[in-house]
């Protein structure tokens, strides 16, 4: 039920952190994966780890805002499975923290473009390769910031809230093709949360809001993606799953 054999996956922002963990989990479940990242070296390193462990993986450079690069990545991922791309994971992200009074338009647009526009661009590119046989999946990455708002990252919160709206709209539109679209809101110890974890005051406040009282490792987040990607998640669409130790209850 949780296997991904004979399926292909395209993962964005998979050169490290949660994206890398999901790529490795997909490969262990049997999928052929295309690991993409704006940093080609980190993407290649993840793909090399997967193949060294006996999995099937390739890598590619992908700036998710670039429609041509996204189209090429979708085609490459589909080629791993005879022209079919079963799973797209829109995970690429970035942060540019600033209190709203100090947040400039460039920083706002950049973060919204990477997260929200990037999810749109890659979903559009993947669409022609997603099958109608019930195995097509779009899995977007959102955040508690998109569900409840956040202080000091209005750009990030707005982008993640937009991803939720995009996910629900895709779920309704693509249901007729038996393609599901869901979002996961994770919280883990990654490079994107380093600025919080390394700040003693912020770290204490954040841990106080996590009922389980700790940060997850990226590998602990990956199982939720396997669930949505597999047959176990075939009857779930348009949903947001917080995987955050109870932060959003």
CB atoms < 10 A from the CB of 43, how many? 29
- CB 111, CB 94: distance < 8 Å: yes
What is the torsional sign of CA 42, 117, 227, 32? negative
Six-digit token pair at 111? 């973060």
- Active site includes 235? no
Which residues are CB-neighbours of 116 under 8 A, at least 6 positions away?
Answer: 159, 162, 163, 166
Residue 81 CA, chain-centre distance (Å), reads: 21
Which residues are CB-neighbours of 169 under 8 A, at least 6 positions away?
Answer: none
Which residues are CB-neighbours of 161 under 8 A, at least 6 positions away?
Answer: 142, 145, 146, 147
Residue 112 CA, chain-centre distance (Å), reads: 15
Catalytic residue among 108, 156, 225, 228: 156
Six-digit token pair at 43? 């993407």
Residues annotated catalytic, as ranges: 156
């Amino acid at each position: 039920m949780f296997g991904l054999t004979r399926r292909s996956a395209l993962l964005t922002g998979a050169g490290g952190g949660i994206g890398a963990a999901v790529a490795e989990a997909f490969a262990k479940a049997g999928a052929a994966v295309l690991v993409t990242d704006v940093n080609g070296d980190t993407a290649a390193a993840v793909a090399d780890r997967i193949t060294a462990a006996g999995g099937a993986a390739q890598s590619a450079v992908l700036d998710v805002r670039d429609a041509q690069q996204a189209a090429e990545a979708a085609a490459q991922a589909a080629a791993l499975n005879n022209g079919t791309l079963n799973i797209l994971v829109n995970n690429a992200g970035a942060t540019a923290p600033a209190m709203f009074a100090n947040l400039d338009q460039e920083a706002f647009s950049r973060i919204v473009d990477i997260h929200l526009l990037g999810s749109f661009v890659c979903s559009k590119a993947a669409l022609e390769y997603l099958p109608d046989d019930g195995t097509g999946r779009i899995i977007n990455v959102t955040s508690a910031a998109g569900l409840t708002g956040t202080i000091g990252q209005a750009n990030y919160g707005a982008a993640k809230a937009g991803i939720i709206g995009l996910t629900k709209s895709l779920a309704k539109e693509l249901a007729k093709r038996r393609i599901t679209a869901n979002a996961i809101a994770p919280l883990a110890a990654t490079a994107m949360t380093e600025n919080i974890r390394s700040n003693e005051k912020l770290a204490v406040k954040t841990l106080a809001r996590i009922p389980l009282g700790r940060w997850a490792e990226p590998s602990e987040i990956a199982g939720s993606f396997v669930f949505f990607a597999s047959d176990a998640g075939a009857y779930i669409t348009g949903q947001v799953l917080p995987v955050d130790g109870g932060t959003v209850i």
